[in-house]
Structure 1
Amino acid sequence: MGTKTGSNLKQSYSEDFEPFCNWVNEEARDVLQVHLPDFKKQQLRVQINVLRSLKISGERHLDERRRSRFRKEIRISQDCNADEIRAKFGRGILSIIMPKKTPSRSTQRNGKPGGEIDQSLVWRLRINRKTAVKVAAALVVIVAFGSYLAYRY
């Protein structure tokens, strides 16, 4: 009668926290180090979404009723090669390695002095099919809305 079952216990988060982070900037990559003592690898999650946003989260039990958790979101730099981002965890530090993009040979042969890259060429190289479809869809919506406003007023 006086005993409680697991289903009667309410889960309560006693500790939402912001982990200590530091950036290590190198020539070929940037590394985000997130300090998470007392966490285990399986308690962590790292995701990248289509909007080039890096989401880092973790949750661990403190006791039967209390948990500790965090959630962090960071925009990925435009000069980062998002397809090659990787994470490793050891000694309480989650390291997220973000390699920087390197110019391709075709952009290096554009005739600019001192290896300077033509920025319009770089822009054209960055646009992929998904981005082109999104831009086209946005333009269609803008033109349709403008036409509607012109018709109404």
Structure 2
Amino acid sequence: MSVSYQQCEPEFQYHKGEDHDIIEFQVKDFRKDQLRVHMSRKGLLTVSGERTHEGTKRIRFRKEFNPPNDCKPDQIRAKLSSGVLFITIPKKVVPQPLGQEPHTQVHRASNENATLPKNETKSFISKLKIGSKTAMKVVAGVAVLSLMFTVLFYVYKIYAPVIMHI
């Protein structure tokens, strides 16, 4: 009785972020023990899976990625949840000079090449991030301006006409 192998290509999405990248594989028919994520000494990230199908058939896949140069290979994590394998690739965060915005992109699966996509920028507004201290300063400034406007409105529109008629 011989075992036959059938190759499959699960759909995947590559999400590139500022401080980490995430690869999502659609592997609904695979269990955790049937999947493997491996980082070679040469820096190649391999995602593979193999499972039994109809007794003597085995279904398998294998995808290789060149992770970003600034990744932290010892902190790569994988999690299987509801048929989706999430692979998180943390990156070394380098402070960006003022005036530059971080790059974010999504890469959908194709049958051609499984290398990482080139950088594309998203709109400035969608990537606007401010710290909680900065947000509190902005809110406090708006509150002070609102209070000043209210006082000035009261003085010139309500209080001033009363004084003039006396």
TM-score by length of structure 1 reads 0.60
Alignment of 1:27-106 (within 5 A): 27-103=18-94
Higher RCO (CA-CA < 8 Å; seq separation 6+) = 2
Deviation per residue, 1:45-73 (Å, 9 max, x gap)? 11101111101111101121111100111
4+ runs deviating over 4 angstroms: 113-116
Instruction: Provide the rounded CA distance (Å) in 1 between the counterparts of 2:87 and 2:75.
Output: 11
Contact 2:18 2:93 in 1 (8 A): no
When the two chains are superposed, the root-mean-square deviation of aligned CA atoms in Å is: 2.0
Unaligned runs of 5+ in 1: 1-8, 117-153
**Higher CA-based Rg:** 2
Task: Identify if the C-alpha distance between structure 1 residues 52 and 115 changes in structure 2 by more than 3 Å, giving closer, same or farther.
Answer: farther
**Identity of matched residues, %:** 39
Task: Identify if the C-alpha distance between structure 1 residues 79 and 115 changes in structure 2 by more than 3 Å, giving closer, same or farther.
Answer: farther
Contact 2:38 2:45 in 1 (8 A): yes
1:11 maps onto 2:3 in alignment? yes
